[in-house]
Chain A
């Protein structure tokens, strides 16, 4: 089962390698990992989507907490969070296919970033599963290149995830 884990860490060099090392060393499977700054410049936020049963996820959480530079870890329960991921995809788009692709873009909410005589580059920011569906429908046109950021997520509702350890 997939789990979305948010991790607040000290914004130090080397933190990311400690975390990714931990995952490979302990045999945890990462689906995606996204890292970026937060409104507090001393803190970075890492969002990890990982695969595993409840026992594995509990271990992931505990092992992450053991890293000194990890301030707080939270695994989101189902429907407890809102999440987005950005995908950029460059697809074969000869003149006769362009309008079909445009229709798909319109339905899915993808935007055209770039266009050439033979290709189109589309961006779509959405949930992981919707990106996958988008990929499926665009695939037959011939994907030339694709990049995804990995999921980022925050808690739904008025509660928020703050750097105070514990809870």
Chain B
């Protein structure tokens, strides 16, 4: 059918089942926006308040749906603003389709107004990118982009479209098939290796399963739970793997790493066989991979061959999609049920080394953020999605908000402040049936609170918790510990009154600074319909751990 490239782009999105896009327009993307307007019945066009937040919102949406989500920016500054979100998505393997406007084809390379080489600038952070110069490539580029973003190890794909190209016409038909000769992601694992890994795992005396974000990327939550329960093997996660296991599963030990649970780090050091599933052994998760490699048998599944052997040597490497490989392992076990060692002694050993959590009495006029989150989790329904920002608030959310079926979403790889609120907007829109809470610090909140307007405008019912310690808390703590308490550049004086700020957006808000307000806030976070902001006042010196 004859149509403009812009209309064809919209048809591509429709064909991919896209229902919502997050964007910010400008001259160079106007032809596409015009076409989007004509399709508003099919595709909701959400105006975010900053391009990076559009990318983060799409990220939240993609993580909940498990499919690529779309964000849009104009050329030059718009595209460049988007880079933080692209890099954030890349670091956590989140599938995004990022569409940017570009200056006219004949002006490319001449530094005209709002020209930026965005495919060049974003290259380190994209799985792939396209600069569309020929109208007849539009269908193939979109088809490939969705395929590349959503398969294998997922990631962001950028499509840059010059304004003149957007206006050209073509005879359009969306390709039915995609075939990229140089891109054939592995699905199933090599049968023999599957067998070896399974035997090594179940015959081990002290095996431990370590789950990373790859388990979500491959939608392998059920399989990994089934495997660990079948073999009675304890489980730890990286920050990206949090919420695969329910916190109350007796096999779940906790998150590892610099800010992880003591008991989880204990288990890593005490195990004799470590089974890594979609975890890349990042430096925040495992500080000394070389020591671990020496003392422990490493079994490693990843869909990205480059992750195997990158940070830690693997005795048993296994390339494949986690869901398929775990299914293969379960099938193998079903057919060959003998050979599982008794792990109950090992589980008891872990149990005996657990230390009960004790909460310190908070300074007057503040609350203990850990205790607050624990109480909140007890009161909230099980399926809440938690979007944690970066800093102390993130660690508290990861450790003390007990997950029982909801997702825990955070920027694990890049640690991008400001991720939480836009992510929550996207996550809530992807699944309105789940209560969705953004948790951030007063620093991070001031990087993203403009998205309250987006939430108000489109009626996105999220709850926002701002933990105000009037400091960039995590950096303050780093300075306290590592720089002889020479605190600098971490004071958030001049911050607004967050309760009043919420009021300015027409959002009800409550300040939490004693037991009574704590109770009330928890009740309202659980029960109130519509947006709500809770400012949780935290002592400026409150430690992370």
- Please report A residues at the B interface, Cβ cutoff 8 Å: 9-10, 14, 17-18, 21, 25, 55, 58-59, 62-63, 65-66, 68-72, 163, 165-166
Contact = CB atoms under 8 A, between A and B. Distances in A.
A141 B148 CA distance: 56
A10 B182 contact: yes
Interface string B304-315: 111001100000
A99 B417 CA distance: 71
Contacts of B305: 62, 65
Contact of B181 (A18, A62, A71): A71
A21 B182 contact: no
Contact of A65 (B120, B123, B306, B309): B306
B128 interface: yes
B124 A21 contact: yes
Contact of B182 (A17, A59, A165): A165
Given A62-B310, A72-B182, 7 more contacts: A10-B182, A62-B305, A63-B306, A68-B180, A71-B182, A163-B181, A165-B181
B119 interface: yes
A105 B171 CA distance: 62
Contacts of B124: 21, 25
25 contacts: A14-B119, A14-B131, A17-B120, A17-B123, A21-B123, A21-B124, A25-B124, A55-B309, A59-B306, A59-B309, A62-B305, A62-B306, A63-B306, A65-B305, A65-B306, A66-B306, A68-B128, A68-B148, A68-B180, A69-B182, A70-B182, A163-B181, A165-B181, A165-B182, A165-B184
Contacts of A9: 182
B183 interface: yes
A63 B310 CA distance: 10
B304 A66 contact: yes
B306 A68 contact: no
A145 to B, nearest CB: 30
Contacts of B370: none
B127 interface: yes
Interface string B173-196: 000000011111000000000000
A66 B306 CA distance: 8
Nearest to A58: B309
Contacts of B306: 59, 62-63, 65-66
Nearest to B306: A62
A69 to B, nearest CB: 6
Interface in B264-321: 304-306, 309-310
Nearest to A10: B182
A62 to B, nearest CB: 4
Which size class do B's interface residues fall under? 10 to 19
A73 to B, nearest CB: 10
Contacts of A55: 309
Interface of B: 119-120, 123-124, 127-128, 131, 148, 180-184, 304-306, 309-310
Task: Please indicate which of the listed interface residues B128, B181, B184 has the most CB atoms of chain A within 10 Å of its own CB.
Answer: B181
A125 to B, nearest CB: 31
A72 B182 CA distance: 7
Contacts of A62: 305-306, 310
Contacts of A71: 181-182
Task: Please indicate which of the listed interface residues A10, A25, A68, A166 has the most CB atoms of chain B within 10 Å of its own CB.
Answer: A68
B183 A68 contact: yes
A68 B306 CA distance: 14
B312 to A, nearest CB: 12
Task: Please indicate which of the listed interface residues A18, A70, A71, A166 has the most CB atoms of chain B within 10 Å of its own CB.
Answer: A18
A62 B128 CA distance: 16
A56 B127 CA distance: 21
Contacts of A14: 119, 131
A55 B148 CA distance: 27
A166 B182 CA distance: 10
Contacts of A165: 181-182, 184
Nearest to A163: B181
Nearest to A72: B182
A68 B304 contact: no
B216 to A, nearest CB: 20
B399 to A, nearest CB: 33
A62 B180 CA distance: 18
A2 to B, nearest CB: 21
A55 B181 CA distance: 27
A83 B310 CA distance: 30
B298 to A, nearest CB: 15
B184 A68 contact: no
A62 B119 CA distance: 22
B123 A59 contact: no
Contacts of B148: 68
Task: Please indicate which of the listed interface residues B119, B127, B305 has the most CB atoms of chain A within 10 Å of its own CB.
Answer: B305
Nearest to A18: B123
Task: Please indicate which of the listed interface residues B180, B306, B309 has the most CB atoms of chain A within 10 Å of its own CB.
Answer: B306
A17 B181 CA distance: 20
A21 B120 CA distance: 10
A18 B122 CA distance: 11
Contacts of A66: 304, 306
A59 B307 CA distance: 9
Nearest to B308: A62
